[in-house]
A and B are shown apart, each in its own frame.
Chain A
Amino acid sequence: SQQGEEDPQALSIQEGENATMNCSYKTSINNLQWYRQNSGRGLVHLILIRSNEREKHSGRLRVTLDTSKKSSSLLITASRAADTASYFCATEPPGRRALTFGSGTRLQVQP
């Protein structure tokens, strides 16, 4: 079963704006990852944040993690039309090797 939910389910913004996506999960985790998926394609790993980290940056990406609230957010700054894709968070519960994915956010960046 899915680990949690993401919101919003869909997000449409203009190029240059920032996009924020949120992810909530249900159980304790070792780490949380964010992936991107272009329509009908495979997954691209974006960033991983460990359970003892609160914030992480990678280029235009900023990820936060609040383990007390079991939530994470992904911020994409200065969005581009090429950022249009679905974004999924994925968690790795302790003792399990498989990833559990959130429901995903479909991001549309209008040029």
Chain B
Amino acid sequence: GAVVSQHPSWVICKSGTSVKIECRSLDFQATTMFWYRQFPKQSLMLMATSNEGSKATYEQGVEKDKFLINHASLTLSTLTVTSAHPEDSSFYICSGSGTSISYEQYFGPGTRLTVT
């Protein structure tokens, strides 16, 4: 299957700072990328869907000004957590889809964010 990478795999930051997480499709062009958040021992919750070259679509309850998503190329999407707070500590997972067949999503390994 296709490969998606995330960087960094884990990050610790201080409250009030911003953190950028990168999601890259390594061997395919991801026209759509999805960002999920997962709290400990819980399921994945979709945060936003981004299509290359256009603005992301955020799920209800997700603050678009806090979680900035950029999908400027077919192989890279970034999620920036602005003014992070301890409650933003979570596991962030991205996935990419390169076809119109939406079930073909390939997941990254995730990024563990800890805000102190």
Contacts and interface: CB of A to CB of B under 8 A. Distances in A.
Nearest to A3: B43
Interface residues of B, number: 23
Nearest to B107: A43
A109 B30 CA distance: 36
A95 B105 CA distance: 16
B112 interface: yes
B109 A104 contact: no
B102 A92 contact: yes
Nearest to A10: B41
Q: Give the size range of A's interface with the partner.
A: 20 to 34
A97 interface: yes
Interface in B6-22: none
A103 B44 CA distance: 8
Contact of B34 (A30, A31, A98): A98
Contacts of B97: 97
Interface in A17-46: 30-31, 33, 35, 40-45
Contact of A42 (B32, B41, B102, B109): B109
Interface string A45-74: 100100000000000000000000000000
Interface in B82-111: 91, 93, 95, 97, 102-103, 105, 107-110
Interface of A: 1-2, 30-31, 33, 35, 40-45, 48, 88, 92, 96-104, 106
20 contacts: A1-B45, A2-B45, A30-B103, A33-B103, A35-B107, A40-B91, A41-B109, A41-B110, A43-B95, A44-B107, A45-B1, A45-B107, A97-B32, A98-B102, A99-B103, A101-B43, A101-B44, A101-B45, A102-B43, A104-B43
